[in-house]
A and B are shown apart, each in its own frame.
Chain A
Amino acid sequence: MSGSAVEKSGMSRWLLRGPWEAGAMTLIGGGIVMLVQPWSIDLYSYSFGTILAGTVGYVIVSHFPE
């Protein structure tokens, strides 16, 4: 197997859609919980950033190969 092929298979192993999508969805869900939880205003302050990161991340990773 050539070096580039090994590199490519390594890359594609990392760029699998499933786990990344699950991660992005966890980030979105966590952000929504942070937005509406009644305990800490600090968590509330960081909630929008978390949801935004998750949403943008989801849009990107949904283009990764299956």
Chain B
Amino acid sequence: MTTIFQPDHATIAGVSEPAKSRATRRVRGLSDRTIAWLFVAPTIGLLLAINIFPLIWMIRLSFTSLNLSMSYLPLRFVGLDNFTDILGDEDIWFRLQTTAQFVIWSVTLQVIIGFGLALLINRQFRGHSFWTTIILLPMMLSPAVVGNFWTLLLQPQIGPFNYLISLFTGVPPSSFSMTGQVSLAPWTIVLVDTWMWAPYVMLICLAGLRSIPDYIYEAAEVDRASAWRQFWSITLPMTVPFLMLAVLFRAIENFKMFDMVNLLTSGGPGSTTELVSITLKRAAFEKWRTGYSSALAIILFVTVFGAANIYVKALNKVKQR
């Protein structure tokens, strides 16, 4: 416990100002600044140990030829060779294109569905809170749980999803596999990701819709603007910054997507749904190419960091509104 002792004025009366403040500090024990540092130090230490140190270590490894399956070989410095290899590798390029297609389709669907849901939820109706909670449920689940139970739902023999499709189309349920067919697997990961994250986009859009003052709509009513006109001239323009925020956030998150896709398809069939994060995991923990995978991780890190800068800028713009 810090003891605060107030020295009486007579004691320090004839002493110079710096000496006086030194004496005060000494008698008070630890300064506020020191106490603040003592409280923050464990967090900073932990952050350095589990975030900064591995990052620096990874940067170092990316310039080496380290292969953990042959770790008895001496560590060789290869300069930018790993980066040159990756940036000339057509396989990685294709995986990045697969990732981009996944990001574009899933984010587009999430924004359309999320915005639509937000427009519905924004109206006051009976059971409004109940339905909001139900809609928000998927985003509260862990991606590992979602991956596992959608694997069961999509199972061709016993999964209910195929039976549902069969009910509407007449196609026999066990004649197609959502996760096992080249033409369907990419859409399956888009479908599951949209199911999980459209509610999140809905939440952001709902915040945008609720920030629009009522008097603007009242003025539009006075001017006899139709509901359609109000939507295009008021609702949409005033929600766009929030939509941009949702798009950026979801795009960054989906670019890094690993867990759910790995559980659903493991990148298959073939490499149809192999996102770049799965390629990275395979290079690091199946082929044990540590130097190469570190370089790939840095490329992805810089890309996400760059995109995050744009995201923060967009966030600040929304805050200023």
Residues of A within 8 A of B88 (CB): 41, 45
Residues of B within 8 A of A48 (CB): 83, 87, 299, 302-303
Residues of B within 8 A of A25 (CB): 309-310, 313
Main secondary structure of the interface of B (DSSP, over half): helix
Q: Tell me if B305 counts as interface (CB < 8 A to partner A).
A: yes
Tell me the chain A residues, 19-66 only, with Cβ under 8 Å from chain B.
21, 24-25, 28-29, 31-32, 35-38, 41, 44-45, 47-48, 51-52, 54-55, 58-59
In the complex, the answer to whether A51 meets B306 with C-beta atoms within 8 Å is yes
Residues of B within 8 A of A47 (CB): 87
A9 to B230, CA, bound (A): 46
In this complex, how many residues of chain A approach chain B with their Cβ under 8 Å: the count is 22
In the complex, the answer to whether B303 meets A32 with C-beta atoms within 8 Å is yes
CB-nearest residue of chain A to B90: A41
A25 to B83, CA, bound (A): 23
- B contact residues vs A (CB 8 Å cutoff): 83, 87-88, 90, 93, 96-97, 99-100, 299, 302-303, 305-307, 309-310, 313
Which 9 pairs between the two chains have the least Cβ-Cβ distance? A36-B100, A28-B306, A55-B306, A45-B87, A51-B306, A58-B309, A36-B96, A38-B97, A44-B93
- A contact residues vs B (CB 8 Å cutoff): 21, 24-25, 28-29, 31-32, 35-38, 41, 44-45, 47-48, 51-52, 54-55, 58-59
